[in-house]
Chain A
């Protein structure tokens, strides 16, 4: 796309969207939000960038293949499940290493643990998956007309 206004605006929109994506991811621990919706926001940032500067620039900006990101996310999510299995004997049980009751019996600390890792995994799967689909569609472009294309159904 050749719009100066759009291209310039992406310089602000992309970082803001990415920060928002992370906020939504973290907020999802106890409130509406989470890895899936955060991942979609991050993928939106990638899409805006791709529309402004093209697929090659977007790939270069990501540095890693989209499907590799998705694979890493899947590994992270499974690792979160196995972490619960190691700690509490059952797959997907929540583990909070920095959070728990203090001497007075009140919970305190940072509630970051296996659940955040799982959500991060979902986040990466969504970013990788959606960007991968977007890049593939952009690169495929409009299919060339086949000369003997029979028009059935």
Chain B
């Protein structure tokens, strides 16, 4: 049952929230309590998995590979924990930020539905159910994009849904091919069935379709453009949730399928992944350099950072995988925090456009400090978490003698510093164009609290990186030697 709770808790909460229409105070409280409970359930699951190794559950008692399988290894369980952390952070932030329309149109219920889909995607052991959870996520995130009800929101949502539906279709086609070839969709079962058949045409085509689908969800080159088209439109609370979780579910799905089901070291697959990753890094960071609105810059940086994670997967050495996993966790915390700070900047100065704002350093110097923690971490300045993440990926590419890859990773890091210093110079350092009195918006404590907490987590990961790297090493080991995972699913019951 411990595997079921992270899915049931947000699902049940979404249902309860539907029964409380227009009672916003109650909705906020229920959503916050449920997020805390979700975090607790995730921690229990992680403790169990760290102690016992991968665990699996067969819903309804139908044995794998026929039934609905839930399975957790360290990666899945840790992803559920970090989902819980982000859920708590945005639930608190919602107290300060949300206004009428969002809540009246069901922001809280949709957020819980999104969390259901995210946790489901992390815990499922079946590739078709992975598709179902992606759909739950897609519908919920579509809802969250439009609850604001403005023209910009609808515009962003249409672009978002357009490309994501194409990706979903590719996903489904890939699943169909895979099922036609092997007769099973259980990922642990597929691992055995595809042994020695990795270079068959049908398998390669299904791998390509799934790579496109997950790549599009993750914001990988060339299917990333839904992301900068939509992430600056919804409420900050939703944008932070999206930036933390949606693309990362795509990366998680890539890591899961391309280690368990497909082999990365098939030359065709590896080449596509490596150069896809490099182009994602470079295009993302260049796209960010051309932007002048805080959230647009941050959106493009998500793409660039996704490139590092996929590069870690593509190099496919144990160290590279450790780097990818560490990167995944560090980035979720940092990026969510930067979006939350963008919300505070918008509140204080009245705009997100860097050319219309300024004077924050003079008015709120400690907000500057709070901004610098995730911003420098994103750029990879020691001793913050991003430094270790980048170090691992670059070290892995050097060990694999990918000199060019290491060069690109370093160069993109440098350009990230450029973008972050642009936000710093324009929003914080220069005076406000309307005079320094223009920095007068009111920001409640509920908006600062999650920012401080996430910044503390970033520092903690940076200072105690050894602990997290050790966990990532164990997790990468489980992923590269999936026997325990496969036994948990197929053996026993």
Q: Which residues of A are interface residues toward B (Cβ below 8 A)?
A: 65, 67-68, 70-72, 74-75, 78, 81-82, 84-85, 88-94
Q: Is the CB of B11 within 8 A of A84?
A: no
Inter-chain pairs besides A67-B21, A91-B4, 9 sampled, C-beta below 8 Å: A68-B18, A68-B19, A70-B18, A71-B15, A72-B19, A75-B16, A90-B61, A92-B60, A93-B61
Known: A78-B11, A78-B12. A88 touches B19 (CB 8 A): no
CA of A74 to CA of B7 in the docked complex: distance in angstroms? Answer: 13
* Residue B119 CB within 8 A of the other chain: no
Minimum distance in angstroms from A122 CB to a CB of chain B: 13
A-B pairs with beta carbons under 8 Å apart, 27 shown = A67-B106, A71-B14, A71-B109, A72-B15, A72-B19, A74-B12, A74-B18, A75-B15, A75-B19, A78-B11, A81-B4, A81-B8, A82-B8, A85-B1, A85-B4, A89-B1, A90-B58, A90-B59, A91-B1, A91-B4, A91-B8, A91-B57, A91-B60, A92-B59, A92-B60, A93-B60, A93-B61
* Residue B68 CB within 8 A of the other chain: yes
The one of B15, B19, B59 that contacts A91, using a Cβ cutoff of 8 Å: B59
- The secondary-structure label for the interface of chain A is helix
Contacts of A82 in B (CB 8 A): 8
Contacts of B21 in A (CB 8 A): 65, 67-68
Q: Which of chain A's residues has its CB closest to B15's CB?
A: A74
The one of A71, A81, A89, A92 that contacts B16, using a Cβ cutoff of 8 Å: A71
Minimum distance in angstroms from B125 CB to a CB of chain A: 14
Q: Is the CB of A71 within 8 A of B60?
A: no
The one of B18, B61, B68 that contacts A67, using a Cβ cutoff of 8 Å: B18
Contacts of A68 in B (CB 8 A): 18-19, 21
CA of A85 to CA of B1 in the docked complex: distance in angstroms? Answer: 8
Q: Is the CB of A71 within 8 A of B19?
A: yes
* Residue B406 CB within 8 A of the other chain: no
List B10-56 residues whose CB lies under 8 Å from chain A.
11-12, 14-19, 21
Known: A78-B8, A82-B8, A89-B1. A94 touches B60 (CB 8 A): yes
Minimum distance in angstroms from B110 CB to a CB of chain A: 12
CA of A30 to CA of B168 in the docked complex: distance in angstroms? Answer: 32
CA of A83 to CA of B198 in the docked complex: distance in angstroms? Answer: 42
Minimum distance in angstroms from B158 CB to a CB of chain A: 10
Q: Number of B residues whose C-beta is below 8 Å from A?
A: 20
Q: Is the CB of B15 within 8 A of A78?
A: yes
CA of A74 to CA of B272 in the docked complex: distance in angstroms? Answer: 42
Contacts of A78 in B (CB 8 A): 8, 11-12, 15
Most buried by B among A78, A91, A92, A93: A91
CA of A91 to CA of B16 in the docked complex: distance in angstroms? Answer: 19
Contacts of B8 in A (CB 8 A): 78, 81-82, 91
CA of A85 to CA of B15 in the docked complex: distance in angstroms? Answer: 19
Contacts of B58 in A (CB 8 A): 90
Minimum distance in angstroms from A74 CB to a CB of chain B: 4
Q: Which 8 A-B pairs have the closest CB atoms?
A: A71-B18, A74-B15, A92-B60, A91-B4, A71-B19, A75-B15, A92-B59, A71-B15
Q: Which of chain B's residues has its CB closest to A89's CB?
A: B1
CA of A70 to CA of B110 in the docked complex: distance in angstroms? Answer: 13
Q: Is the CB of B60 within 8 A of A90?
A: yes
Contacts of B68 in A (CB 8 A): 92
Contacts of B1 in A (CB 8 A): 85, 89-91
CA of A67 to CA of B4 in the docked complex: distance in angstroms? Answer: 25
The one of A75, A88, A89 that contacts B12, using a Cβ cutoff of 8 Å: A75
Minimum distance in angstroms from A116 CB to a CB of chain B: 15
Minimum distance in angstroms from A66 CB to a CB of chain B: 10
Contacts of A84 in B (CB 8 A): 60
Q: Which of chain B's residues has its CB closest to A79's CB?
A: B12
Report B101-128 CB contacts with A as 1/0, cut-off 8 Å: 0000010010000000000000000000
